[in-house]
Amino acid sequence: MAQETRTAYGEVLAELIVEDPKIVVLDADLTKSTKTALAKKACPERHFNMGIAEGNMMATAAGLAASGKTVFASSFAMFATGRAFEQIRNSICYPKLNVKVCATHAGISVGEDGASHQSVEDIALMRSIPNMRVYCPCDQFETKAVIRHVAKIAGPCYVRMGRGKVEDVYNEETIFDFERANIVRQGKQAAVFATGLMVQECLEAAKMLAQEGIELTVVNVSCIKPLDEATICQVAAEHELLFTAEEHSIIGGLFGAISECLIAHEPKKCIPIGIEDTFGESGPSKEVLRKYGLCAEHVVEVIRQTMDSCKK
């Protein structure tokens, strides 16, 4: 089945707000898009619309958290982490307050709205702030588990979600461990560290490569910070070729995080698949993703080319 991660967020938040009286939800005039409207319906008295004023929303969230609340603050990834970066840094992360910045519409899969609304820098921004944890779940089941996870742990968290429907990778029975990167498919020659919707694309690429006799390992790195360095290093040691795949700029995101880990612990070449240092553009989601190389076919091409050049 395919579902939007943002819908999964809204559904689980609607459960959590009823279960936990400490939870308060803030939104910036996007309740229907971010799906916090579902939580509002479940518990209107603890959902506040803060209007189109993201900076104020984040610092208000900090004030609520300083009064013992667990605050979920939502907007599009672009505005949550871009417009309100400094409020997240100074009012939430510096005092280590219990605010969960849950952003939807991340990356270029936003589609038609174009580059002004396509956040390709948010992982880089959020993971550079001390005290911040960064999560990027790939499907509805992982999203629900991540949201329940961040609701339980103390301190600031960033959760990155998308706009469009994504195929299920996991199921209702899956037990998640966000301390560990998850090896979704065990291969041999090459390994790809993927996050968000690129997990599905890499799994699809793995099927295509298998027909050519190439066995691709796919690691879902849904917790980008703190990074599971042990699993990253182990996978790196066991494979000849390493790749990363993300719907984010190759500067400072998953590629940045994996590269930092590898250089420090298991120096090895790693090739990025992501958005080259550029802005996105308008268009239907699938077309835009394809144009910028965020599809299974491009993953196959990059891996095949890399293997060919190694043989030469």
In the complex, the residues that contact another protein under the rule CB under 8 A are 24, 45-46, 48, 50-51, 53, 55-69, 71, 86-87, 90-91, 94-96
Q: What is the DSSP string of the chain?
A: -EEEHHHHHHHHHHHHHHH-TTEEEEESS-HHHHSTHHHHHH-GGGEEE--S-HHHHHHHHHHHHTTT-EEEEEEEHIIIIIITHHHIIIIIITTT--EEEEEESBSGGG-TT-GGG-BSSHHHHHHTSTT-EEE---SHHHHHHHHHHHHHS-S-EEEE--SSEEE-SS-TTPPP-TTS-EEEE--SSEEEEE-TTHHHHHHHHHHHHHTTT--EEEEE--EEES--HHHHHHHHHH-SEEEEEEEEETTTSHHHHHHHHHHHHS---EEEEEE-SS----S-HHHHHHHTT-SHHHHHHHHHHHHHHHH-
Residue whose CB is less far from another protein, 51 or 226: 51
Closest distance between another protein and the C-beta of residue 15, in Å? 19
Residue whose CB is less far from another protein, 35 or 89: 89
Closest distance between another protein and the C-beta of residue 75, in Å? 14
Residue whose CB is less far from another protein, 61 or 250: 61
By annotation, the residues acting in catalysis are 54
Closest distance between another protein and the C-beta of residue 47, in Å? 11
Residue whose CB is less far from another protein, 4 or 54: 54
Closest distance between another protein and the C-beta of residue 73, in Å? 10
Residue whose CB is less far from another protein, 67 or 305: 67
